[in-house]
Amino acid sequence: MTVAHDEPIREVLTPPPAKSLILPSTAPPLTVVEPRGGFRFADLGELWRYRELAYFLVLREMKLRYKQTILGVGWSLFQPVATALVFIVFIGWMGKTADGVPNYVLHVLLGVLPWTYFASALNNAGNSLVANERLVTKVYFPRLLLPLSNVGSATIDFAIALVLVAAVMLYTGVAPAWTIVFAPLAILLLAMLATGLGVMLSALIVAQRDFRYLLNFGVQLWMFATPCIYLGRHAVGPRGEQLLTLNPMYGIILTFRNLVLGYPMDAHSWQALGMASLTTITLLLAGLVYFRRVERTFADTI
C-alpha cells in the first residue's frame, strides 16, 4: 500500500493475543502410600524407578565412611591386612598350622577378604534403618534401598581390596587359574547371603534392639566357626568337615579360594557349595518376605 507524503502516518498498535491463564502443571506426580498386607517380595519395578536414589545412597555411604580420614579408601585394605597378619603370625607361623598348606599367605588372604566383605555388609545393612531414623520417618522411598546401599558400598570396598590379592600373587609368583572367571559367581552368592541376612536383621533391629548386640558378637563368633579362613580344610577332620557344610560361609569361601587358585572341586567341595547355595536362597527369600511384611510399621516403631 502506497501512502502519500502529505498524509499523516498513524501507527496502529495491535494488542498481543491474550495468553491462557491456565499454567502448565509443575507438581510432581501424586504417590499414594497404602498399607500392604500378606506376604510379598520386593517390588522390583519400584526399586528400578528409584535407581538414581540407590546410586546416591551408595555414594553417601562411601563418603560418610571415609569422611575426615587420612587413609580414606585405604581403610578397605588395612582391616583385612591386619586380620590376615594376626592369623598368619599367631596361628600359622607360631602355631605351625601352616604346615601342609601351600601358599599359606594367599590361603589366609583369600579367606579373610570375602569374610571382611560379608561382615561389613551384614553389620552396616543390619543397622541401616536405625542409623537413618529421620530419613525413614519423614520421607517416603523404598526402605529396602537402605540395606541394599550398604551391601553395595561394601562390594566396592571388596573390589578395591582385590588389588591386594593381585599384588601378593604377583610378588609370590603364583598365577591365577583359568577358573578365576567363575569367581564372580561365588561373590554373587556371598552378596546374596549378606543381603538376605542384612535385610532381615534390619527389620528385626527396628522392632527389638537386642538384635543389634546379637549381631555384633554373632559375627565375631561366626568367623571363628569358619576355620577354612585360617586353617587347612583337613585340619578339622572328616567329621568336622561334614559339620562345616552346614555353615554357608564355609562353602562360599572354600569355593572362592578353589576358583582363584585352581584347587580341584571334589565331592566335598560341591556338597559344601550346594548347601551354601540352598541356605543363601532360603535366607534371601525369607528376609525379603519378612521385610515387606513389617515395612509399613517402621515409621511408627523406629
66/219 Cα distance (integer angstroms): 22
Q: Among 42-51, 167-176, 211-220, whose mean pLDDT is lowest? A: 42-51
pLDDT at 96: 56
Per-residue b or e along 184-218, where b marks 16 or more CB atoms closer than 10 Å to that residue's CB: eebbebbbbbbbbbbbbbbbbbbeeeebeeebeee
pLDDT at 281: 96
pLDDT at 204: 93
Q: Among 87-101, 166-180, 184-198, 202-216, whose mean pLDDT is lowest? A: 87-101
The yes-or-no verdict on residue 3 having pLDDT over 50 is: no
Find, among 195, 189, 197, 182, the residue nearest to 251 by Cα: 189
63-97 residue pLDDT tens: 887 776 666 777 777 888 888 888 888 776 655 55
pTM of the model: 0.82
Between 63 and 293, residue with greater pLDDT: 293
Between 66 and 28, residue with greater pLDDT: 66
Question: What is the DSSP track for 52-77?
Answer: HHHHHHHHHHHHHHTTT-SSGGGHHH
Domain ranges of the chain: 69-291
Question: What is the DSSP track for 69-134?
Answer: -SSGGGHHHHHHHHHHHHIIIIIIITT-TTTT-TTHHHHHHHHHHHHHHHHHHHHHHHTHHHHTHH
Question: What is the DSSP track for 191-217?
Answer: HHHHHHHHHHHHHHHHH-THHHHHHHH
Helix (H) or strand (E) holding 175: none
The yes-or-no verdict on residue 165 having pLDDT over 80 is: yes
pLDDT at 7: 45
Q: How confident is the model at residue 33 (pLDDT cuts 50, 70, 90)?
A: low
Mean pLDDT over residues 155-180, rounded?
A: 90
192/277 Cα distance (integer angstroms): 10
Single-letter amino acid, residue 109: L
Would you put residue 96 in left (φ > 0), alpha (ψ -120 to 50) or beta? left
Instruction: Enumerate long-range contacts of 90-98, CB under 8 Å, 24 or more apart.
Output: 91/230, 91/231, 92/230, 97/230, 97/231, 97/232, 97/235
Find, among 213, 248, 205, 214, the residue nearest to 228 by Cα: 248
Between 99 and 100, residue with greater pLDDT: 100
The yes-or-no verdict on residue 137 having pLDDT over 80 is: yes
Q: Kindly state the percentage of the chain with pLDDT values over 70.
A: 81
pLDDT at 4: 45
